[in-house]
Amino acid sequence: MLAAITSRPGEVVRRQVVVAAAWPDGARVSENTVDSYIRRIRAKLKELDSPVTLRTVRGVGFTLR
């Protein structure tokens, strides 16, 4: 997931692209699962005191800033 988002810094990466990167076999994944993983990534970034923020673009996907 993070690799898909970091490969396009500053761009909005669609949720479907993030899901396909994390589950390439085409598994059906709920939005709650994706949100849970994103929450974990945000917590790790905060724990590292990273200046990078992972933002949700509502209804579209995610972006790094």
Q: What is the pLDDT of residues 13-39, one digit of tens each?
A: 999 999 999 998 878 899 899 999 999
What average pLDDT does range 58-64 have in this prediction?
94
The 13-14 sheet, strands edge to edge: 13-14, 61-64, 54-57
CATH of domain 2-64: 1.10.10.10
Residue environment code for 19-35, b if the CB has 16+ CB neighbours within 10 A, otherwise e: beebeeeeeeeeeeebe
pLDDT of 65 reads: 87
Fill in the DSSP letter of residue 58.
Answer: T
Share of the chain above pLDDT 90, in %: 82
What are the boundaries of each domain within the chain? 2-64
Share of the chain above pLDDT 70, in %: 100
